Amino acid sequence: MVYLDSVALAKLKNLSLELRSLAVEGSMSGRHQSLWKGFSHDFAEHRPYAPGDELKTLDWKVYARKDRFYVRQYKAENILTTYLLLDCSGSMGYCADGRSPKWDHACRLAMALAYLILAKGDAVGLIPFNVEPLDGLPPRASFSQLEAIDSALAKRRPEGETDLGKVLERAGARVRRRSLVILISDLLSKPRHVIQVVKALRARRHELLVLQVLDPQEKDFRFEGYSLFDGLEGGPALYCDPTALRRAYVQQFEKGLRLYEASFHRSNIGYALFMTDRPWDSVLAQFLTRWR
């Protein structure tokens, strides 16, 4: 596999994506508490007996106390469905100072999370997007899904524009049942619109994780001398002196980062910043420990 070699797999052996507390929808047998009633070891509630109910579900102790028939109901356990929403717009191709592009970093994170989800027996699917949601992979719980995701990512290259807020609305419409939604993007868009859409997904009772991937140059703006800046998602080139712009740029950029972090925290949405000059596995381990 391109984005998950033996070295990366070895690093994942000590990591775990703990999702046991999530309630899910569905009809498949699994580990997670369901929104529906079914059969497991966890008692949910009593309800009056109705003709057609199996006699083995009757609670005879309650009958002895109340002289009425009641049926015991249990919480069903299902497989959790996870969707990886992966930004493959042009800006994800940026890299500087010999570092790998943000796209490579994002693909490795997507593959690592897919592995951790499948290792728990849950299902994972992929929805890549740029200007609109692209052809992806429906959720499956088989380990063959790992190679399918890797192959799909290897065929893609970051390109095109994106209006992150609008495209997330369209991508989110594909997620119908309650699921875990993991967004991997540089989030270089209008923060308030992105936050509004992500919070709307949370309001639909999805669990949300947002992983922001950035190159240090995008955050620190350490360019020297007059430079020509080309837009990776269109727009005219800009010739300017970075030194004169640095202070205002950094202040505005950090303001956006603080807005993302504070807004997601208030909405109980997991958020982490991944810089391409740091090992992805160590940052992922810290984030998963904190989120759990």
Report DSSP letters for 150-168, one per residue.
HHHHHT----S---HHHHH
Output the pLDDT for position 84. Answer: 97
The structure tokens listed for 194 are 């992105």
Per-residue pLDDT tens over the stretch 102-131:
999 999 999 999 999 998 889 999 999 998
Q: Is 13 in the same domain as 36? A: no
Q: Is 158 in the same domain as 66? A: no
Query: What residues make up the domain containing 165?
Result: 6-22+80-291
Q: Is 157 in the same domain as 72? A: no
Q: How far apart are CA 140 and CA 137, in angstroms?
A: 8
Per-residue pLDDT tens over the stretch 231-255:
777 778 888 888 998 999 999 999 9
Q: Is 147 in the same domain as 186? A: yes
Mean pLDDT of the chain: 85
Residue 235 lies in a domain: yes
Lowest mean pLDDT among 39-53, 121-135, 151-165, 197-211: 39-53
**Which of 87, 120, 166, 144 has its CA nearest to residue 16?**
120
Per-residue pLDDT tens over the stretch 35-62:
444 444 455 567 787 766 677 778 888 8
pTM of the model: 0.80
Q: Is 71 in the same domain as 183? A: no
Q: How far apart are CA 92 and CA 157, in angstroms?
A: 9
Lowest mean pLDDT among 55-59, 82-86, 135-139, 159-163: 55-59
Residue 272 lies in a domain: yes
List C-alpha distances in Å: 93 to 80, 186, 213, 248. Answer: 31, 10, 11, 25
Residue 34 — pLDDT band, cuts 50, 70, 90? Answer: very low
Q: What average pLDDT does this structure show over 85-96? A: 94
Lowest mean pLDDT among 18-32, 86-100, 227-241: 18-32
